[in-house]
A and B are shown apart, each in its own frame.
Chain A
Amino acid sequence: MLLEVHHLSVCYDTAMILNDLSLSVGEQELVSVAGPNGAGKTTMLRAISGLVRWEKEILRGSRYGDITIEGRVHFSGERIDQLPAHEIAERGLLLCPERRRPFREMTVIENLMAGAYLLKDKEAIKEHLLTVFRLFPVLKERSRQVSGTLSGGEQQMLAIGRALMSRPKLLCIDEPSTGLAPLLRKEVFQKISEVRDSGIPVLLVEQEVSTVFKMANRNYVLSSGKIIAEGTAQELLQDEVLRKTYLGL
């Protein structure tokens, strides 16, 4: 498998946020993770991408108390859980963060160039820029606009486009549909499956299971820091308890 997470646990001070979590993503796969608010979905992606470690490092000795991380993360056969976040990105694992977080003072094109930071070859940058513009034509139209003034939907496209600029081996996306109108959500999900079809596997955290489960190859359900179910849309949606209690369907 491309990404393998083994027995990952994260504690903030005394609160156990992730509890012995294991999951995997294969080449060509779109894998979704769903779960109620506060289940630990964002924390899981932050731990995989190295941000929890970064947080632990910069908060060392501060008033917020200790962060402990246990378990192993393998990516392309290499152990990455000891690496700093920027080296994990170098290996090709990119996270498109919760709340999109564009570099607000910079223009759309500058944001995309920031996403291309890992590339040194000008030709490759141009080529990837064209690919991103083909996927999100609106970014081309708005390329000189300061990204803080984009609409929510456009910002989400930008955040995904920025993460795609370095042509990652795995794209992780955290709740891309937050705050978007239903029609726009459909469009964003459509784009995400296009990304998978273009050969970039995706690990997608999303609450809107009715659409996402059908798109995804496999799904996990996370609750209180634990994986409580795993399977295809059919398998999971058959389970009445799961549907009612955790998925709100």
Chain B
Amino acid sequence: MIENILINGLIHGGVYALLAIGFSLIFGVARIVNIAHTAFYMIAAYFIYTFSTRMGLHPLLAILLSVVIVTLIGMGVYQLSIKPIQEHEITVLIITIAVAMVFQETVLLIYGGHFRGNPGLLTGFLEIFGVRVSYQHLLTLIVVLFVLLITWWILLRTRLGIAIRATAQDREVANLMGMNVHRIAMITMAIAVMMAAIGGVLIAPLSVVEPYMWLHPLVMVLAIVVLGGLGSIKGSLIGAFILGFTETLVVFLLPLGAFLKGAFSLMIMIVVLLLRPEGLFGVAFEEER
């Protein structure tokens, strides 16, 4: 059981981290709360289901196609429906809720509300110290950690990463340093949606694919970014693993845990906020002018 908790906690924490970091990045760079963020994760799961289960494409090709298509959809949504109203917070909230609903209803129309399964890439088990871990779980874990590592490297070590972080902290000064803030926001949106899409294609074989599967992760992502401190990437990463493990522990250790996991995570968030209102790694945004 401990090994199950460990590996599931890492996987869930990792997928939440993929979602929450992307959410934080967009929030920082474009100052928008993107409610539709986890809806991209949901449609990615449907794309992989369509490509691999329905159309029978090779799983790797299906993964690649799903991630690329969802990323392009994300960029299109940003350009057409978010960017024009970007500076009006309430309108952004309403528009992104609308985008999420459009995705959900479209999926409902095409696929119905049924739970869909998705075969994994690998079958079989690996025995480590007498403990059985399925290859699929292991692969998922490796990919999640790999993607997180690459994201980390981009943010800390590359010219683009410096520009993204600079823009997130002070858009005006980023402008003054010659950064095209609009273009950086678009690139950030692409990276964030790509991370969400990778989360979606990875989770599809491990759980069920259904039209409402974006709601629980959305609540979790909001809890994670508040817990970690709004605008802090490190906070999002650590918050994601804290809540990922909490959920897993609750599911494995408590009777009816699957129904209680959300409540427990939100309770942790509330306790942390009572003790530290700015979250674990709160960032004060430089107000403009």
Contacts and interface: CB of A to CB of B under 8 A. Distances in A.
Nearest to B286: A101
B162 interface: yes
A238 B20 CA distance: 63
A117 B162 contact: yes
B278 interface: no
A97 B177 CA distance: 11
Interface stretch (B106-114, B135-143, B165-173, B199-207): B165-173
A84 B174 CA distance: 12
Given A62-B88, A103-B166, A105-B283, A117 B177 contact: yes
B252 to A, nearest CB: 37
Interface stretch (A19-27, A86-94, A189-197, A199-207): A86-94
B81 interface: no
A95 B176 contact: yes
A104 B286 contact: yes
B166 A114 contact: yes
Interface of A: 49-51, 54-55, 58-60, 62, 84-86, 89-90, 94-95, 97, 101, 103-106, 110, 113-115, 117-118, 162-163, 166
A201 B123 CA distance: 68
A114 B176 contact: no
Given A50-B175, A114-B174, 18 more contacts: A49-B176, A59-B87, A84-B180, A85-B172, A85-B176, A86-B181, A94-B177, A101-B286, A106-B165, A110-B162, A113-B159, A114-B162, A114-B166, A114-B177, A115-B177, A117-B166, A117-B177, A166-B177
Contacts, number: 79
Nearest to B159: A117
B178 A118 contact: yes
Contacts of B87: 58-60, 62
The 5 closest A-B pairs by CB, nearest first: A89-B178, A85-B175, A118-B178, A114-B166, A103-B169
Contacts of B163: 114, 117
A41 B275 CA distance: 44
A86 B176 CA distance: 6
Nearest to A93: B176
Given A58-B87, A104-B286, A117 B179 contact: yes
A50 B179 CA distance: 13
A144 to B, nearest CB: 13
Contacts of B180: 84, 86
A113 B160 CA distance: 11
A106 B166 contact: yes
Most chain-A Cβ atoms within 10 A of its Cβ — which of B86, B87, B88? B87
Nearest to A110: B162
5 contacts: A50-B175, A85-B172, A89-B175, A94-B176, A114-B179
Nearest to B163: A117
Contact of A86 (B86, B178, B283): B178
A56 B178 CA distance: 18
Interface string B25-60: 000000000000000000000000000000000000
A103 B159 contact: no
A85 B181 CA distance: 10
B189 to A, nearest CB: 17
A117 B86 CA distance: 25
